[in-house]
A and B are shown apart, each in its own frame.
Chain A
Amino acid sequence: MKKIIISLAAVLSLTSARAYAPAASWQLTDKYTVTFAGGGEVGGIFKTLKGTISFDEQHPETSGFVLSIDVASINTGNGLMNTHAKSAEWFDAAKYPVIKFTSKKITKSGAAYTVTGDMEIHGVKKEMTLPFSFKSSGSTGTFSGKFIVNRSDFHIGKPGGDVDENIKLEVTVPVVRK
């Protein structure tokens, strides 16, 4: 009886240790891309992305992201558009220098994942659920996600005009295991 109790205790402790083991940390490589498209000629990239990623494919519930984009790193390919995008009417880069996403919950849905977290743009924080995929190969991997952000939700620019309300974002982040 004593042996059984000890064995059960050992199994339980191992299981619980596995369940709460922190997810592996991944480091962003500089090959990431953050592109956006807002209809017609409106589109470009953000050149600076920083963040911390801990992610376990088998246990996404133990995973978490904190990602931030430097607003001033926006590049539309046109100098006037860049200046305009950084101005007070749009992103107001001087006052709100970063776009930040902090995950709260990650769940697996089929072959992909969804992350729910707080998106903070232009001083407005909003909970969003975003789909993403992860492909790993040894100690490297790539996170990819395509999603839509409604710019009016974050008071970016005036409604209407040449820029679509829904901005399509595409993020690809190659990572290496720390």
Chain B
Amino acid sequence: MLKRLLLLGVTSGVLAGIVALIYQKIYSTSVGADFSSVVTPVSVMISNLIGCMVAAIGYWLLSKWLKSRTEIVFNFILVILSFASMLPVFAAKLPLTINSPELFPGLAIPMHFFPALAWSTLEPLFIKNGE
């Protein structure tokens, strides 16, 4: 179980990272704001991987305790944490060389939901119902 969860964590982390990089490219091109110096491809991939690996370990720990109700509780926690992670984005202080910090939340906030989306998309492939 843990092995499959870790594999799900890595796979969904990579998927979320790729989607985030594509979104960043589209966003930068469409609004003309460049945040590539603070949101680097490496930091995007690493943060998505870490997020999804933490989710995998969290799921495994919950499954030890909650058994059949793991998925519903896990999904609630995942969504709540995704929403909560928006707050630091609004408070972020960017380097003064970056123009239009007003446009930064428009880039970063959707990215905070990509790990949850990637996890939910790939989860049925790794975890069977009732497991």
Contact = CB atoms under 8 A, between A and B. Distances in A.
A75 B93 contact: no
Q: Chain A interface secondary structure, helix, strand, loop or mixed? A: mixed
Interface residues of A, number: 13
Interface string B91-102: 111111011111
Interface string A68-85: 000000011111111100
A162 interface: no
Interface residues of B, number: 15
Interface in B55-105: 90-96, 98-105
A103 B94 CA distance: 34
A83 B96 contact: no
A45 interface: yes
A83 B91 CA distance: 13
A78 B98 contact: no
Nearest to B98: A77
B95 A77 contact: yes
Most A CB within 10 A of own CB, among B91, B99, B100, B101: B101
A77 B105 contact: no
A60 interface: no
Contact of A75 (B90, B92, B96): B96
A79 B96 contact: no
A6 to B, nearest CB: 63
A77 B102 contact: no
A3 B101 CA distance: 73
B96 to A, nearest CB: 5
B101 A78 contact: yes
A44 interface: yes
A79 B91 contact: no
A79 B93 contact: no
Interface string A22-58: 0000000000000000000100110100000000000
Interface in B32-73: none
A79 B104 contact: yes
Nearest to B104: A79
A45 B102 contact: no
Contact of B96 (A41, A77, A80): A77
B106 to A, nearest CB: 9
Contacts of B93: 41, 76-78, 81
A32 B102 CA distance: 23
Nearest to A83: B102
Nearest to A79: B102
A41 B104 CA distance: 18
5 contacts: A76-B101, A77-B94, A78-B91, A78-B93, A82-B101
Given A77-B101, A79-B103, 9 more contacts: A75-B99, A76-B96, A76-B101, A77-B94, A77-B95, A79-B102, A79-B104, A80-B90, A82-B101
Interface of A: 41, 44-45, 47, 75-83
